[in-house]
Amino acid sequence: MLGAYERFRTKLGAAITYCMVYSLSGILPLYIVNEYPKSGGTWLAQMLGQALGIPFPRTNRFPMVRSSVIHSHYPKHRGMKNTIVIWRDGRDVMVSLYHHCFFLSKNEPTGSPFMEIIRNDLPFANYENIRENLPAFIEYFFTRQRYPSFTWAEFVRRWYGRKGITYVRYEDLNRDTPGQLRRVISKLTGKNVGSEKVAKVTQELSFERLSGRRRGEENKNSFLRKGIVGDWRNYFNKEASECFDLHAGDELILLGYESDRSWVAGQQ
């Protein structure tokens, strides 16, 4: 886990970035990739920075007062410019968060204090029993969680349908990475990036290249765990489905991930 100095540095860097985003986004050409945690925002921000040739200072580093890509989990708009919101099926988000909280290696640079809080709040007897633990984990993230300070459903409601926002779905980015990256850049800048450059960026920052594994080959201890769409089907039981539907079923339908609630009854 992060030491005291690293935690202080991370919080200070995040505070400075927050002030920059809300005061300078209309002055500096900042490109803000905003997401609910574990929705693919870091991956998109990396590709965007490399394709545009501008820095992407990670969240645990101090921001640069110049054109750059900012990645975060902002709950409100407040007049931000050049903002990309990345959606992901909330059920996959819950599964990814579970692995992140309970299995992420201490050697990973992406650890954060909130992981320690969640592990203390949810002392499951066996963290490997994901199907049994997941309903309580989902309930926690919709009713008791302290980070972030808003739920997946609240994030969807606050950001859905806003004018001037560029939206992208993790599932589409996963399916057609070059095409989605070019679309995002075109909407943000009004310019077209060459297909060769985009292909090079997406190849260099692909799951396979970054993780050293094929998509679907799991490493529970890695930030880049599995890299697939629809993994929730491997872990959700009927209780988990009903719990998620209770708290975020409307938002799941709003984003088009389901057309109705028939998926709930289909779980075993």
Cα pseudo-dihedral 75, 80, 82, 86, rounded to 10 = 10
Residues 17 and 65 sit within 8 Å (Cβ to Cβ): no
| pLDDT, mean of residues 32-44 | 94
Q: Which pLDDT score is estimated for 206?
A: 78
Domains (range + CATH), the chain: 4-89+154-209 (3.40.50.300), 95-149+228-265 (no CATH)
Q: Which of 156, 200, 161, 159 is nearest to 177 (CA)?
A: 200
Per-residue pLDDT tens digits for 43-58: 999 999 999 999 887 6
Q: pLDDT by residue (tens digit) across 190-231?
A: 888 888 999 999 999 876 776 675 666 665 655 656 667 899
| Burial (0-12, 13-18, 19+ Cβ within 10 Å), 144 | exposed
Distance CA 264, CA 248 (A): 12
Least trusted range by pLDDT, from 32-36, 163-167, 194-198: 194-198
Q: Give residue 132's pLDDT.
A: 97
Mean pLDDT of 67-83: 85
Radius of gyration of the chain (CA): 18
Query: CA 64, CA 88: separation in Å to the nearest integer?
Result: 28
Q: Cβ–Cβ contacts within 10 Å for residue 250, how many?
A: 13
**Residue 128: pLDDT above 60?**
yes
CA nearest to 40, candidates 212, 226, 183? 226
* Residue written as token pair 């297909």: 195
More confident residue, 186 or 149: 186
